[in-house]
A and B are shown apart, each in its own frame.
Chain A
Amino acid sequence: MAELFLSLCPQVRHRAVSEEGVLVHLDSGRILVVNEVGLHIINTLTEPSTHRELIASIEEQFDVSSECAAIDLEAFLAELEREQVLIKGARRGDPVNV
């Protein structure tokens, strides 16, 4: 089965502010603050990425184990999904709303 690509909803704007990030969801009006790791994930998600790519990117950037990165990533992605910030697409460049 092909790996699922994740990316940011096009209705979301974000800005790095110091080491953290501010996210604005233009549809829901929700405004969120994410920490340094969250900001890194958000920046990565501006291009469709797989779980595996995201974990590798966190490992590389923050010098943490793959297991630790996977746990943090799942929790963060679940939060993004609750906030409807995330979209899941079948392939790069062709996102599909979930």
Chain B
Amino acid sequence: MPLTGKIAGALIIAISILALFSPMLTSHEPEKIALDSIKQPPGPGHLFGTDNKGRDIFSRVLYGGRISISIAIIAAFISMSIGLLIGLCAGYFGGIVDTLVMAIVDLILAFPSLLLAIGVSIIFPPGIYTVMIAIAFVGWASFARLIRGQVLTLKDAAYIEAARAIGCSRARILFVHLMPQCLPIGLVMAGIKLGGYVLTEASLSFLGLGAQPPMPTWGSMISMNRAYIASEPWMVLFPGLAIAVTTLCFNMLGDALRDKYGLPATAEKIKI
């Protein structure tokens, strides 16, 4: 793995530790309103300053990281599981199942992903679970396509034929013989996708469709504080920096993984 990938990996571990142990790293409560210390610039008392309700931005960024990163990881896991299952079936059974599944996959991949995620997140009441569902609803398609391709090349391998010959059931071939071969590439894909998922989560919560206040998320901090950008820019600067650095690290790691495992360098889905 190239140096950038290693650095990115190390930074991701550092960010995760910061997010995981945020209660120990900051003495300020992220949701506590302190009207005697509103709009304070960054300084020793408040590392990143305070917002218009006197809440400490440093601790809000740390706690927000917990939410954003865990949503991205869980959404990646759900997408991978659904994509794995559907891709396995589509690749193995072929025929009408394959045609149908691939038509749906093409449909989802052709549609602007953010609009689709917004549409899905409207169906359920806003919250962290809704964001996961929305991301996974859009995300499973690229996993399904990748896994299907993998299954198509494996399907005619000698060991699958042998399994069929000794009378293995379809379920056994699918889940015992094919799935372990597809899981690693699925995990690599999940790593590649994480950066995009962090960005999608931030975008949805920026639009007010993510975790609801007073829970701090990076996206909602930017959207709530953007009226103060001229006078108190730190309120917007630090949450955005958190999104940018986290996404950058995940994307760099994703690139390194892509190079290492020789996945096609498809264009990243742009968040508009």
A and B: bona fide binding partners = no
